Structure 1
């Protein structure tokens, strides 16, 4: 009986911790930017944003395979993963006809490049003013 109570207490605390983390994520002041991918391209080919915190919601609109999202400061070597803004990676590959979000990404003034290496897409400009 003591084992059962201990297991229930642990399960309850894990559930409460998970709910608190979900709640904290929802309480952030991050703006959600939705970007849709079709075969070989993003439908938004240029973005202008203000400085701040963003979550990118990447939609796979019938590309036929998984897609992703890469964000790099303009002028950096996009082929070098060390230059990628890791918080802007989707949390998992975006399956066909579904969407996934990135973690909160803080953008400061400047120019960035975004693209999908899996689709693959051209490189698009994102300007932060």
Structure 2
């Protein structure tokens, strides 16, 4: 009987540990993409990353007012908010000389453009996901 109980405890423990590990892998932290804005532009014009989940960190480097961040799949109308990838928006407008961030955003292979309508910046900045 002791062997049966010991076996049951062992199986239960291994099963629980495996489930916990699976959950940890699914909840792996997002990678970070840091972009700097100066007056009227992003300093990084093109970035290449691998597929995955990312948080965008936006540095407002002395723009003089709040800035934001918009990400759109390349080829879509950037002026249409329905095409914006909402999770990539900064969680709040980024004050002068501070840093803000987006929510985690899953990026699939393809090309995206990014811009700031508050700064404003050009819409030809490219993010390539391989």
Normalised-by-shorter TM-score class: 0.7 to 0.9
Instruction: Tell me which residue corresponds to 2:85.
Output: 85
Structure 2 residue 119 is matched with structure 1 residue 119: yes
Q: Whole-Å Cα distance in 2 between the matches of residues 67 and 30 of structure 1?
A: 23
Deviations 1:66-104 (A, max 9, x none): 000000000110000000000000000000000111000
Q: Which runs of 4+ in 1 moved over 2 A?
A: none
Give the Cα separation in 2 of the matches to 1:87 and 1:31.
Answer: 14
Q: TM-score with structure 1 length normalisation?
A: 0.78
Give RMSD over aligned pairs.
1.2
Indicate the SS of the match to 1:77.
coil
Ranges in structure 2 where 5+ consecutive residues have no aligned partner: 1-23
State how far apart, in whole Å, the 1-side matches of 2:99 and 2:85 are.
19
| C-alpha distance in structure 1 between counterparts of 2:112 and 2:105, whole Å | 13
Tell me how far apart the structure 2 counterparts of residues 28 and 55 of structure 1 sit (CA, whole Å).
Answer: 12
Helix, strand or coil at the partner of 2:87: helix
